[in-house]
């Protein structure tokens, strides 16, 4: 086990052995699997390094190295949320086109599950791609030597890279559209599971201020259709004069559509609804959902492309190329 001052022991990975022996990961794989393609002295150096570090490849990892294929760890916070399912599908498609193996981890949007994933993922994959809420120090501790591509959050550590989501202009366009339709009482259903306002609420607040709209009518919602419905009920009970609502995501918006119908409010005549994400599911509800839409296919593919560049030693894409911008896509709900 490898440990650092003040931290828990970390499982020794194949990358640690490669670094200690001064060889590539593929060479370590061949040496440990007794392949004939490498010189005897190199094989012995790898075996000595593995023994000195106490490296114990897991049964899972041994199966992967025998295939001599690149393996990506894709970390998703909630596969029950169709947005993350769409991103995962795009990443899997992009990885499959490269002949890569992908292991998908669902952390169920819980810190303890995320930590558990980190404790095993570093020894099993060549690169990590996905969503994390933990600190970069924690990421560094468990993924040392493995390239990491973060989705939807900035990075501050040089060995990480990020795919950034920029929805500011899309949210501004959504508020501008609602104002142009005559709405002056616009509420928001934000992410209800966080102690601080979401970045999407910040975008909404800034856009509302630009048009002189009160942005204080905000209710937190659980990340589900039921959560969206309950939050809309709470919002309208407190502010019955609200005529439009912007939501943290499309799932919440779909729940709001259902609740509006139950309350006898016609959409969009009595209540306009705009979501965020641009899910394919939004086109199947009635009325079709208006949304600040992200290109989920580009998001997943871009993350895999960046991982490929890091693994092959190419320069990572620059910051401007690593941005996925959201755009307002009007349906029938606003």
Whether residue 222 is predicted with pLDDT greater than 70 in this model: the reply is yes
Supply the pTM of this predicted model.
0.77
Q: What is the mean pLDDT of residues 99-105?
A: 91
Cα–Cα distance between 226 and 256 in angstroms, integer? 8
End-to-end CA distance of the chain: 57
pLDDT, one tens digit per residue, over 280-321 is: 999 999 999 999 999 999 999 999 999 988 887 777 787 788
Check residue 18 and give its pLDDT: 81
Helix intervals (H) in 54-103: 59-67, 82-97
Which pLDDT band holds residue 203 (cuts at 50, 70, 90)?
A: very high
pLDDT, one tens digit per residue, over 135-183 is: 888 888 888 778 889 998 888 777 788 899 999 999 999 999 999 999 9
Check residue 309 and give its pLDDT: 86
Check residue 68 and give its pLDDT: 56
Check residue 11 and give its pLDDT: 56
Give the range with max mean pLDDT: 40-44, 125-129, 190-194, 288-292: 288-292
Which pLDDT band holds residue 4 (cuts at 50, 70, 90)?
A: very low
- Mean pLDDT for all residues in the chain: 86
More confident residue, 280 or 68: 280
Whether residue 3 is predicted with pLDDT greater than 60 in this model: the reply is no
Check residue 225 and give its pLDDT: 95
Residue spans of beta strands (DSSP E) within the chain: 71-76, 101-106, 127-130, 148-151, 160-166, 186-191, 218-221, 244-247, 272-277, 290-293, 323-325, 327-329
Check residue 125 and give its pLDDT: 86
Check residue 255 and give its pLDDT: 97
Cα–Cα distance between 321 and 239 in angstroms, integer? 42
Whether residue 63 is predicted with pLDDT greater than 50 in this model: the reply is no
- b (16+ CB within 10 A) / e for 266-303: ebbeebbbbbbbbbebbeebeeebbbbbbbbebbbbbb
Torsion of CA 274, 217, 219, 75, to 10 degrees: 50
Check residue 9 and give its pLDDT: 45
- Three-state DSSP class for residue 23: coil
Check residue 299 and give its pLDDT: 94
Residues recorded for the chain: 334
Which pLDDT band holds residue 56 (cuts at 50, 70, 90)?
A: low
Cα–Cα distance between 1 and 276 in angstroms, integer? 44
Q: Is the peptide bond before 291 cis (omega within 30 degrees of 0)?
A: no
| Range scoring the smallest mean pLDDT among 20-34, 90-104, 213-227 | 20-34
Q: What is the mean pLDDT of residues 51-63?
A: 58
Determine the Cα angle at 60 with ends 115 and 98, to 5°: 90
pLDDT, one tens digit per residue, over 250-265 is: 999 999 999 999 999 9
Check residue 294 and give its pLDDT: 95
Cα–Cα distance between 171 and 292 in angstroms, integer? 6
Contact 2, 10 (CB under 8 A): yes
Which pLDDT band holds residue 60 (cuts at 50, 70, 90)?
A: very low
More confident residue, 87 or 159: 87
Check residue 5 and give its pLDDT: 40
More confident residue, 129 or 122: 129
């Amino acid at each position: 086990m490898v440990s650092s001052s003040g931290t828990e022991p970390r499982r020794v990975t194949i990358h640690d052995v490669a670094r200690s022996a001064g060889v590539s990961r593929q060479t370590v794989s061949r040496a440990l699997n007794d392949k004939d393609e490498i010189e005897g002295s190199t094989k012995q150096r790898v075996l000595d390094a593995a023994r000195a570090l106490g490296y114990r490849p897991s049964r899972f990892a041994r199966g992967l190295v025998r295939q001599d294929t690149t393996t990506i760890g894709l970390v998703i916070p909630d596969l029950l949320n169709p947005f993350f399912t769409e991103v995962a599908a795009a990443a899997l498609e992009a990885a499959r086109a490269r002949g890569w193996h992908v292991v998908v981890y669902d952390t169920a949007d819980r810190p303890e599950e995320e930590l558990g994933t980190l404790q095993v993922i570093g020894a099993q994959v060549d690169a990590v791609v996905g969503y994390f809420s933990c600190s970069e120090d924690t990421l560094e501790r468990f993924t040392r030597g493995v390239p990491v591509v973060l989705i939807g959050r900035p990075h501050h550590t040089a060995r990480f890279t990020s795919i950034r989501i920029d929805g500011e202009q899309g949210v501004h366009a959504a508020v501008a559209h609602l104002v142009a339709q005559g709405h002056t009482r616009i509420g928001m259903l934000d992410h209800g599971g966080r102690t601080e306002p979401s970045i999407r609420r910040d975008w909404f607040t800034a856009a509302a201020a630009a048009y002189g709209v009160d942005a204080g009518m905000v209710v937190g919602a659980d990340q589900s259709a039921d959560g969206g419905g309950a939050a809309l009920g709470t919002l309208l009970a407190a502010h019955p004069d609200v005529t439009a609502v912007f939501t943290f995501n499309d799932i919440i918006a779909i729940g709001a559509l259902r609740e509006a119908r139950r309350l006898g409010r016609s959409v969009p005549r009595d209540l306009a609804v705009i979501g965020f994400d641009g899910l394919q599911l939004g086109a199947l509800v009635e009325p079709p959902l208006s949304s600040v839409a992200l290109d989920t296919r580009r998001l997943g593919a871009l993350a895999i492309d960046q991982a490929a560049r890091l693994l092959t030693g190419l320069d990572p894409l620059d910051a401007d190329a690593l941005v996925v911008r959201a755009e307002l896509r009007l349906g029938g709900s606003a």
